């Protein structure tokens, strides 16, 4: 397989079919690259235009006077072959064919695609698509794609067989402050296929987790092979469309890819260590957990809660997902008993009975995470308690008690306390190499769910619900178990 580094790390990009019509792909992609802060050169190619968005434009790729590393093609399908020939003449290997009108549209399009494949393969071109929404490399400042989204740099790389799903996932990532490394909309996978991207992300140093939206694969055996090797080092989180029969039909008509029977694919994913998500939101949530938290080395969970009911709900979720809540060992019990009020639950879940005290939470979390009896901690309720306290004070101010100026100071203090508390969670995860999952009491809508700290490997993810936290823990544990089994198997061999 050819190296895809050139695709994702170009120093210069040409956009063929560049336009100033805001709703045309040739404009959407060009503006996204420039506005997204790409540091390299950008060459619009548009017949008969001197400039596009103030950039000097060229009639043809062949007129561009300097080397071009990446070509984005956004012209009608019938013109694509001519442009590919220009690429070969200009010794350009990396091409993204955004244009539609290929195998997804019928016989004529299928013919176009077959020609494109034969030509590209014989010339060794790296072609993404056709019918793709493009690619991105956040750290490199490259947004050569449809979605005008600005992302934080992180370890998650995305392969999407549907542009819309990719688009949505990246939008959520932007809102929630979840870091992304790279994106590729694989389109019709005429030349480069999902397994090529898997293979590349497997080797890519900036990628720690692969997020994969899949409808079908063409070469099942190669896919299993690549997925197995990749998942041993980097978790692959996948959402397979077509779980139901109706869904399967829709997937077939959606892209040219054949959507195999879901049950077989389910087996394939289990066999190759792929972590399955059921929905697009789960897909991102799981990818974020794997990118941010250490892997649990077992399934023993300590639950710390602000209230009893919440603890029971979390315990139920854990039980149903194959996680256990062991009783508190004596040393942990004694440590907790010394500092907690006499009416605490004296068991796991550790119920602090409505004590929204930062110090109590911090100490309790540390007591549990430091103990050999536990592999992970879920705590509920201290994060967001500050928000609630603030609301009490706001109400009081509105009723004439206290001043809003004082409230501002109070808010600042609280928010500093919360940040210090979150920093401490990162410290604990780094020290004990165990994941900690906070569930917030109140989360403002749109609140970033990721808290990071410069220079630290791990990040805190603030969960809105206990079920989401437990799901992430379950899948992380199962991945750990898969890796362990594979290692044992390899040792035996």
Question: Applying CB under 8 A, which residues contact other proteins?
Answer: 216-221, 223-224, 258, 260-261, 263-264, 266-268, 270-271, 485, 489
Nearer to other proteins, 22 or 492 (CB): 492
Nearer to other proteins, 379 or 482 (CB): 482
Task: Please report how close the Cβ of residue 290 comes to other proteins at its closest, in angstroms.
Answer: 21
Task: Please report how close the Cβ of residue 324 comes to other proteins at its closest, in angstroms.
Answer: 17
Task: Please report how close the Cβ of residue 235 comes to other proteins at its closest, in angstroms.
Answer: 18
Task: Please report how close the Cβ of residue 257 comes to other proteins at its closest, in angstroms.
Answer: 9
Query: Three-class SS string for the chain?
Result: CCCCHHHHCCCEEEEECCCCCCCCHHHHHHHHHHHCCCCCEEEEECCCCCEECCEECECCHHHCCCCCCEEEECCCHHHHHHHHHHHHHCCCCEEEECCCCCCCCCHHHHHHHHHHHHHHHHHCCEEECCCCCEEEECCCCEEEECCCCCCCEEEEEEEECCHHHHHHHHHHHHHHCCCEEEEEECCCCCCCCHHHHHHHHHHCCCCCEEEEEECCCCCHHHHHHHHHHHHCCCCEEEEECCCCHHHHHHHHHHCCCCCCCHHHHHHHHHHCCCEECCCHHHHHHHHHHHHHCCCCCCCEEEEEECCHHHHHHHHHHHHHCCCECCCCCHHHHHHHHHHCCCCCCCCCCEECCCCCCHHHHHHHHHHHHCCCCCCEEEEECCCCHHHHHHHHHHHHHHCCCCCHHHHHHHHHHHHHHHHHHHHHHHHHHHHHCCCEEEECCCCCCCCCCEECCCCCCCCEECECCHHHHHHHHHHHHHHHHHHHHHHHHHHHC
Task: Please report how close the Cβ of residue 274 comes to other proteins at its closest, in angstroms.
Answer: 13
Nearer to other proteins, 453 or 481 (CB): 481
Task: Please report how close the Cβ of residue 270 comes to other proteins at its closest, in angstroms.
Answer: 7
Nearer to other proteins, 59 or 488 (CB): 488
Residues 257, 217: contact at Cβ < 8 Å? Answer: yes
Give the C-alpha separation, 452 to 102, whole Å: 43
Give the C-alpha separation, 371 to 163, whole Å: 45
Give the C-alpha separation, 118 to 341, whole Å: 74
Nearer to other proteins, 260 or 402 (CB): 260
Nearer to other proteins, 68 or 214 (CB): 214
Task: Please report how close the Cβ of residue 193 comes to other proteins at its closest, in angstroms.
Answer: 12
Task: Please report how close the Cβ of residue 217 comes to other proteins at its closest, in angstroms.
Answer: 6
Nearer to other proteins, 63 or 218 (CB): 218
Question: Could you tell me which residues are beta bridge partners of residue 436?
Answer: 377
Task: Please report how close the Cβ of residue 488 comes to other proteins at its closest, in angstroms.
Answer: 9
Nearer to other proteins, 218 or 408 (CB): 218
Nearer to other proteins, 119 or 262 (CB): 262
Nearer to other proteins, 29 or 159 (CB): 159
Task: Please report how close the Cβ of residue 264 comes to other proteins at its closest, in angstroms.
Answer: 5
User: In whole angstroms, how large is the CA radius of gyration of the chain?
Assistant: 26
Nearer to other proteins, 392 or 489 (CB): 489
For 97, phi and psi rounded to 5 degrees?
A: -95, 95
Task: Please report how close the Cβ of residue 195 comes to other proteins at its closest, in angstroms.
Answer: 12
């Amino acid at each position: 397989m050819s190296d895809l580094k050139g695709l994702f790390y170009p120093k210069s990009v040409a956009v063929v079919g560049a336009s100033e019509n805001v709703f045309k792909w040739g404009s959407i992609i060009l503006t996204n690259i420039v506005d997204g802060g790409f540091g390299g050169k950008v060459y619009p190619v548009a017949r008969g235009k001197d400039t596009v968005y103030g950039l000097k434009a060229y009639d043809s790729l062949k007129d561009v006077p300097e080397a071009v590393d990446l070509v984005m093609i956004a012209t009608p399908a019938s013109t694509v072959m001519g442009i590919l020939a220009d690429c070969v003449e200009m010794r350009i290997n990396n091409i993204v064919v955004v244009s539609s009108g290929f195998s997804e549209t019928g016989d004529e399009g299928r013919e176009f695609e077959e020609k494109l494949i034969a030509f590209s393969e014989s010339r060794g071109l790296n072609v993404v698509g056709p019918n793709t929404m493009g690619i991105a490399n956040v750290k490199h400042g490259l947004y050569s794609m449809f979605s005008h989204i600005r992302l934080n740099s992180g370890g998650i790389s995305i392969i999407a067989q549907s542009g819309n799903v990719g688009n949505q996932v990246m939008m959520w990532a932007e809102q929630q402050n979840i870091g992304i490394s790279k994106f590729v909309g694989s389109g019709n996978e005429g030349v480069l296929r999902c397994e090529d991207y898997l293979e590349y992300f497997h080797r890519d140093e900036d990628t720690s987790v692969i997020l994969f939206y899949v409808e079908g694969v063409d070469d099942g055996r190669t896919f299993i092979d690549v997925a197995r090797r990749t998942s041993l080092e980097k978790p692959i989180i996948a959402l397979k469309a077509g779980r139901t029969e109706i869904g399967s039909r829709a997937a077939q008509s959606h892209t040219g890819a054949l959507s195999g029977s879901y049950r077989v694919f389910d087996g394939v994913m289990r066999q190759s260590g792929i972590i399955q998500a059921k929905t697009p939101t789960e897909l991102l949530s799981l990818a974020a957990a794997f990118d941010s938290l250490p892997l649990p080395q077992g399934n023993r969970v300590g639950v710390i809660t602000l209230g009893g009911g919440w603890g029971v709900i979390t315990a139920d979720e854990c039980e149903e997902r194959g996680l256990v809540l062991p009783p508190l060992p004596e040393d942990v019990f004694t440590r907790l008993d010394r500092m907690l009020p006499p009416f605490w639950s004296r068991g796991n879940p550790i119920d602090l009975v409505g004590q929204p005290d930062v110090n109590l939470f911090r100490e309790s979390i540390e007591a549990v995470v430091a103990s050999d009896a536990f592999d992970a901690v879920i705590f509920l309720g201290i994060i967001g308690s500050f928000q609630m306290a603030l609301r009490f004070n706001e109400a009081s101010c509105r009723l004439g008690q206290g001043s809003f100026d004082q409230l501002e100071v109070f808010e600042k203090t609280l928010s500093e306390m919360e940040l210090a508390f979150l920093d401490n969670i990162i410290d604990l995860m780094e020290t004990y190499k165990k994941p900690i999952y906070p569930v917030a009491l109140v989360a403002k809508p749109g609140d970033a769910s990721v808290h990071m700290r410069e220079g630290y490997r791990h990040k805190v993810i603030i969960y809105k619900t206990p079920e989401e936290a437990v799901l992430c823990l379950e899948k992380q544990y199962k991945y750990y178990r898969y890796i362990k089994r594979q290692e044992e198997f390899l040792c035996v061999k």
